[in-house]
Structure 1
Amino acid sequence: MDISDWVEDVHIKIDVLDDLLSGRADLDFSPGSLIALEAELLDRIEDTEELTDPDQLPFLECVVAYLGEMLLRVAGGRWAAPSSGLPVLRPAAELGLEDTAPLDLVAAAIQRRDGTEFRRTHRAWQEAVREYRQTHPGWAPEKDYTPGLDVPRPEPSAELDAWLARREQEFPAWRARYGAGEDWDFTADSLDALTEAVFRETPTTAKFQEHNDFVEGASWYWGEVLRRSAPAEWQHTPGERTNRSTTIGYFWVRRPDADRSYTPELNLAHMVELGDHKRLHTVLARWSG
């Protein structure tokens, strides 16, 4: 099997699966979609002997495509050619996970028939990422690009690299000036200190432009909390800021595995507009979920 041909067709197979399910499962790449997909599989196939039935192959290829993409979004890595049969998954090497054939998970699901095999594997891979990130907090799994599904990785940005380096270098001075005595450990425990500083230094959004040094430092810190709490990366979209875009002209954070992104400076401005001192905790819980 030519693995590049498979990868090119993965998004088509997932579209076909969506049509086959006719709304019985929402293929939104959420954990709940795996439960619905496994239920559909068990309704259609009663015994593992049916896995060799040519009539079942189109459906099985679609299930393998979706299940595989779900797992790669968690643990990074890529599709790999098998010695025989359908493709296997090769997760990020740092995690120590073995190559996994989604079709083997399909077979296990049919054998167990408890409706939890797909979600159980998904949780296990999430846990492997969580454990590795405990000792490597700046690490995020990288997944090879799948056409039609993934956003292409951005081009290298010298402006982003320079901004991140400057903010990290200047953070000790920022912390001493605006948050002396607080524990700035990039966890949820530090969000109350950040919130207090934001409302003290920039009590209105009009103050954001007047107090640029503080706002940039606060935005970087909040973005780092997001980035370190889940596999995520900084991005930058050059251009003039307008009310029609939340990314153009901003430094922002994207979580590829969950297709989520936040612009830290706008998060802080919205918090001030709402007057909500618990806003960052709410956003972090949504981001990490």
Structure 2
Amino acid sequence: MNELQREYYAFINNMDVRLGAFVLADLPETFDREDGETATFPKDFGPKSLPMLEFFVLSRFSSPDEVIDPDNRRFVEGLIRYLGETYLRAIGGAWDHDEETGNGMPFIRPDTEEGPLKGEPIPILAIILAAVDARTAEVFTAVLDRARENLGGDGTPRRSSTGMSLGALTSENSSEEEVEFLSRFIGTVEPGIAAWTQEQVEPASWVFERESLVRLGRQLAARYDSRDEMMTEEETPFVGGAMRFIGETIRRIGFGQWRYGAGLEADDPRSRQPFIRFLVGNQNLDMVPWRLAQTALEDPNSIASGLDTVISMREEEAASEEGAQSR
């Protein structure tokens, strides 16, 4: 897997948390219209949110150069996610990536009257750059209108909404403190893991697979005799990297999402800790990387066993769904 592919899969795998955080933390609750009236800012991924979204983008950026400024990357990635998901819900299609399209960022491959994914790619970053350059607040909607024309008929999608539905954070299922923490923390996960693996023997051998969790469990058991040793200041870089690696590995394999234990009782293992939540059926299964790292001191296989639990529940869920469909 090359670097572009890794970045793309990270983009998709982090969609729920980062898109939810963008909607809650970066988009305003209200917006001042040109006529001086204050309007509620729609955050529903609907076509009617596009003009307001474009006005807001123009208020943030005065030139295309500001859009591609590295200091604005987090906001722009959130904007790409929101705009892309809005298009998907309106016209159908899927996220995609390649070496040439989209200015190096994921783009939308839309459905047309010819069939699923038959349309010309919609390069989201290029559309944002064009909108900031044109400054008409009409570009986002014009792109959607053209794509709808390509659907033929009355311009409705040929299939159900294809937008992501991975349980994005909302004001109903999360707190302001959790969103604020995750907005900062998520951006440190992959860089933190990259730095951590470079300090290990054979850095390239640390991949997001079960065997790496087995090896890490053994390493923790050999490195520390107690939890107190893990909590010393000099061990913070190693433990912080290990926790991120544990969490991200089980999250990717088990299709979970990062959460943060805000407002929980002090004796709850999730309290004030980032953890991974898996939605299995109608139940939540939460795993705390810090807790898993501690259990490895007693049982080196405990981290990998945590992953096994998730996989087993996923398999049971799939078998149950398959049985229901066959009846």
Instruction: State TM-score, norm by structure 1.
Output: 0.45
